[in-house]
Structure 1
Amino acid sequence: MPVLTRLIPSPVVVDISGRAMDQLGDLLADQRISASGKLAIAISGGSGQALRAKLAPQLPAADWYPVIDGTIDSAVRLADGIKGKRYDAVVGLGGGKIIDVAKYAAARVGLPMVAVATNLSHDGICSPVSILDNDNGRGSYGVPTPIAMVIDLDVIRDAPVRFIRSGIGDAISNISAIADWELSHRVTGEPVDGLAAAMARTAGESVLRHPGGVGDDEFLTVLAEALVLSGIAMSISGDSRPSSGACHEISHAFDLLYPGRSALHGEQVGIGAAFAMHLRGAREDAALFADVLRGHGLPVLPEEIGFTVEEFVRAVEYAPQTRPGRFTVLEHLNLPADEIRDAYADYAKTISS
């Protein structure tokens, strides 16, 4: 008898609502993640510290672990600190860096991880990947998907609006990433996981087509759901392919070539996605991407995030080296610098008309 279904790695609970954080202890107990409340909670020095006073009364048995930065060293230190202390779970309370550190540390000591996101800057909040800085720049480390996902819309609204906008760019970039995956299937024969692709594309389209904005709870809910679905899509496929194509290669190139100058991840991948759509000949889609990004206050040109055209051209030319073995429109076209420069000029003209 053939296997008729497959198990999908995903959180046992996803709570996206106002005041969701107020019910964190009850939620973990009800879901049998932690009836005792014995938790190791990783927090940042910013939003995490501010929320500690609010959460501490409902989690008296928890221990709190400040995390300095999003490096592999911080993740290893956290793992060493919680090892052998019989916690029920590790909780990452904060933005993407804290959650990535907590995911890695939890995986290292064999504990389930609960993600409590304080902003919506990118889809790493629910992905099976930790992005951590290391001696060679930045690395991607495979980890289990969080066992629970909590997103408090009241907390999200208090975060800098730039973080929400960054999440919009990351979600929309799924559409470009799927186009790259399908291109690779046609050219190289790389298999496409249809379920993962459908989930990631639906997530991107839900944000791209939504009429609301960053001040609208309905829109914030759709954005949060899209980022969670993107993470689950990556779990289904077993890698970042559903949400990472030329758009992310360009962003990684910015990070590597211009350390300390890079913009937020979602800002960079948003520009990368619009430009990649243009390279595919999808001018109308590129213009739509640019219009939607502009409408949400996101950049659409490298000059708007502090890079010159020549620096952008260099980043696009270098981008394929950031993900060896991944085939996207950049590898397919293999454009030299002068042709990238011409393509960018045409892109800038297209989205301004």
Structure 2
Amino acid sequence: MPLLARTILTPLHVDVRRGAVADLGRILADGRISAGGDVAVVVGHGVGARVADLIRPSLGAADIFTVSGGTLDSANELAAKLRARSYDAVVGIGGGTTLDTAKYAATRYGIPMVSVATSLANDGIGSPVASLVNDGIKGSYGVHIPIAVIVDLDFVESGPSRYNRGGIGDVLSNLSALADWELARDIRGEPVDGLSASLARMGAEALLSHPGDMTDDGFVTVLAEGLIASGLAMAVSGSSRPCSGGCHEIMHAVDVLHPRTGSHGELAGMGALFCTFLRGDETRFRQISRCLRRHGLHRTHRDFGLTDEQFVDVIAFAPRTRPDRYTIIEHLDMGTKEIRARLADYVDAVQRS
């Protein structure tokens, strides 16, 4: 008998709106996640005090833990603290490092995790992946997908604009990642999951065509939903493949060779544009380039303060960050001289777009 359907792990509750943090107790109760508020709330140093003041009226029984660093050590330390008593859920409130720390700790002890995003820097807000630093190297760890994903637009609005705009680059990078996935299918026979690809592509296409910006709640909601859809795409495929290709190899290579050069989303967006150029897809290149420019995102390595020779080294190093992944960078297998020539053409193309 043929398989008629498949079971997919997804959040039980998704909510993108203003005032979500202050209303957290009711949201958890209505979603049947925690009726009495017996939850462990995990916050970072940046928004910790503000969050604590907002949630106390509706979550008086909650314990609040403050974490920092986004490291595997900090996640393990948090996991140990969660053993103190029984919790209905772990509620991570903050940016990417705080959420990833909470996701990993909750998964370690099998506790449901609620992701409450206060920034939109990358697609980790609803993904089954935690990016944590271990011995100075950032690694990706599989975790249980959040049981609920909540985005508070009040916090997003008051947060650093640069990091929120970085999320635009991360969503747009799905288009490049999907092209790499299709290339791997054509060259190596790697299977492509159509549902996963559709979810990843949906948010990116919506951002390309939306006329708004980060001052517009409608646009910010589309961005948040695009990031959440990216997380679902990874959950469906069982890997980061639909959202991570040569674009993210470049991002990880920059992180290794030139730490703190740019945020995850900023670098992923620039990496996607470069990989799209390498593919020779002129229409998609113009679309992504114009979208990045319109939202004030960097489009070349020079915008990040990297020299041409430094970026040549980044491209040469990039395949080492994901040895099992086949992308346009592996496909072209460029030597230093060819990378340098392609890079010069790329800079000219960006200036014309």
Does the alignment reach a TM-score above 0.5? yes
Q: Distance in 2 between matches of 1:161 and 1:66?
A: 24
Equivalence for 1:100:
100
Equivalence for 1:309:
308
Deviations 1:62-114 (A, max 9, x none): 00101021000000000000114101000111000000000000001110000
Provide the identity percentage: 50
Deviations 1:16-39 (A, max 9, x none): 012122221111111111112111
Equivalence for 2:292:
293
Equivalence for 2:173:
173
Worse-superposed segment, 316-325 or 43-52 = 43-52
Contact 2:21 2:54 in 1 (8 A): no
The one-letter amino acid paired with 1:71 is T
The one-letter amino acid paired with 1:319 is A
Q: Distance in 1 between matches of 2:177 and 2:62?
A: 40
Q: Distance in 1 between matches of 2:283 and 2:346?
A: 11
TM (normalized to structure 2)?
0.98
Let me know the Cα RMSD of the aligned residues. 1.0
Contact 1:96 1:121 in 2 (8 A): yes
Question: Are positions 1:326 and 2:298 aligned together?
Answer: no
Question: Are positions 1:22 and 2:43 aligned together?
Answer: no
The one-letter amino acid paired with 1:325 is D
Equivalence for 1:158:
158
Equivalence for 1:226:
226
Equivalence for 1:341:
340
Q: Distance in 2 between matches of 1:278 and 1:232?
A: 27
Equivalence for 2:266:
267
Q: Secondary structure at the match of 1:37?
A: coil
Q: Distance in 1 between matches of 2:114 and 2:167?
A: 20
Q: Distance in 1 between matches of 2:231 and 2:65?
A: 25
- Superposed counterparts of 1:191-230, under 5 Å: 191-230=191-230
Q: Secondary structure at the match of 1:119?
A: coil
- Superposed counterparts of 1:24-173, under 5 Å: 24-173=24-173
Contact 2:72 2:132 in 1 (8 A): yes
The one-letter amino acid paired with 1:225 is E
Q: Secondary structure at the match of 1:58?
A: coil
Q: Distance in 1 between matches of 2:50 and 2:17?
A: 20
Q: Distance in 1 between matches of 2:337 and 2:290?
A: 27
Deviations 1:248-274 (A, max 9, x none): 000000011122x32101110111000
Shift of 1:136: 4.9
Q: Distance in 1 between matches of 2:308 and 2:283?
A: 22
Q: Distance in 2 between matches of 1:283 and 1:330?
A: 17
Equivalence for 1:350:
349
Q: Secondary structure at the match of 1:16?
A: strand
Shift of 1:155: 1.4
Q: Distance in 1 between matches of 2:323 and 2:91?
A: 33
Equivalence for 1:277:
276
The one-letter amino acid paired with 1:213 is D
Shift of 1:216: 0.5
Q: Distance in 1 between matches of 2:350 and 2:287?
A: 8
Contact 2:69 2:97 in 1 (8 A): yes
Deviations 1:329-351 (A, max 9, x none): 00000101111111111111112
The one-letter amino acid paired with 1:349 is D
Q: Secondary structure at the match of 2:270?
A: helix
The one-letter amino acid paired with 1:179 is A
Q: Secondary structure at the match of 1:86?
A: coil
Give the total of aligned pairs.
352
Shift of 1:49: 2.7
Contact 1:287 1:350 in 2 (8 A): no
Shift of 1:306: 1.6
Q: Distance in 1 between matches of 2:238 and 2:155?
A: 31
Contact 1:283 1:350 in 2 (8 A): no
Deviations 1:277-323 (A, max 9, x none): 00001123223211110110100011111211111111011000000
Q: Distance in 1 between matches of 2:98 and 2:64?
A: 13
Q: Distance in 1 between matches of 2:261 and 2:304?
A: 8
Contact 2:23 2:55 in 1 (8 A): no
Q: Distance in 1 between matches of 2:268 and 2:118?
A: 21
Contact 2:21 2:51 in 1 (8 A): no
Contact 1:129 1:141 in 2 (8 A): yes
Contact 1:170 1:270 in 2 (8 A): yes
The one-letter amino acid paired with 2:306 is F
Q: Secondary structure at the match of 2:90?
A: strand
Structure 2 unaligned blocks of 5 or more: none
Q: Distance in 2 between matches of 1:209 and 1:52?
A: 38
Q: Distance in 1 between matches of 2:304 and 2:127?
A: 26
Equivalence for 1:254:
254
Q: Distance in 2 between matches of 1:241 and 1:230?
A: 10
